[in-house]
Structure 1
Amino acid sequence: MAPIIIVKRLPAAGMAIFPFILLKSKRYKADKEIINHERIHLRQQLELLILPFYLLYLINYLINLIRFKDHDLAYRNIIFEKEAYQNDSNLNYLKKGNWFGWLKLSL
């Protein structure tokens, strides 16, 4: 399990910055879907050897921002977020493999 750090000024409920899961509040420690969502991001970061993940994430967001002209739509359509949101309620998703699942969403 990834180490969890509480960051009260975090702009979101959760965030994954390898190897940590950052949460805005202690109460989110009990939220299995948020934890699973962030664990999916940690897996994505490992798949891309960490630094390339952040570069692709930012590039994908900027392209989406130009495309949709809306922050929320741009964010929700980042390929990494699509995989995490589609599978955050499936608590067995990471156990069943599904390596590079985000790549399948972009093809």
Structure 2
Amino acid sequence: MVIISKYLVPRGYIGITIFPFIFLKYYNLKSSPVLMNHEKIHMRQQLELLVIPFYIFYTIEFVIRLIQYKKWYLAYQNISFEREAYYKEKDLNYLKSRPFWSFVSYL
């Protein structure tokens, strides 16, 4: 389910997925197939890890990357979940053939 709210999406981002919702900052973003695919990849990742463990792993990896890179955005971009989503967001058929736990190869 997609929810449009500029107040629920953190500053500096245009979308965020918190199972089972995709929050977008603006309504017109809903028509972006690349952005929607990116967020759906995150939805699949969350389901594979049974939601709560996804957020635990995401947070731990973010902290590690922040220590490693010392810059917020660079740390964010290098989280394995984000690397997979950014790398495959333009492949609109990716989720049809995505192997289980595919994000592991992006560690």
Please tell me the TM-score bracket, short chain as reference: over 0.9
Letter in 2 for 1:94: L
1:98 aligns with 2:99: yes
Secondary structure, counterpart of 1:16 in structure 2? strand
Deviation at 1:16, TM superposition (A): 0.5
Deviation at 1:21, TM superposition (A): 0.6
Q: Which runs of 5+ in 1 are unaligned?
A: none
Secondary structure, counterpart of 1:95 in structure 2? helix
Task: Give the number of aligned pairs.
Answer: 104
Letter in 2 for 1:76: Q
Runs of 4+ in 1 over 3 A off after TM superposition: none
Letter in 1 for 2:90: S
Offset from partner CA, 1:39-87 (integer Å, 9 cap, x none): 0000000010000000000000000000000001100000100000000
Write the mapping of 1:1-107 to structure 2, written as runs, cut at 5 A: 3-9=1-7, 10-11=9-10, 12-106=13-107
Deviation at 1:99, TM superposition (A): 2.0
Letter in 2 for 1:74: A
Letter in 2 for 1:6: I
Deviation at 1:18, TM superposition (A): 0.3
Query: What is the TM-score when the length of structure 1 is the normalising length?
Result: 0.94
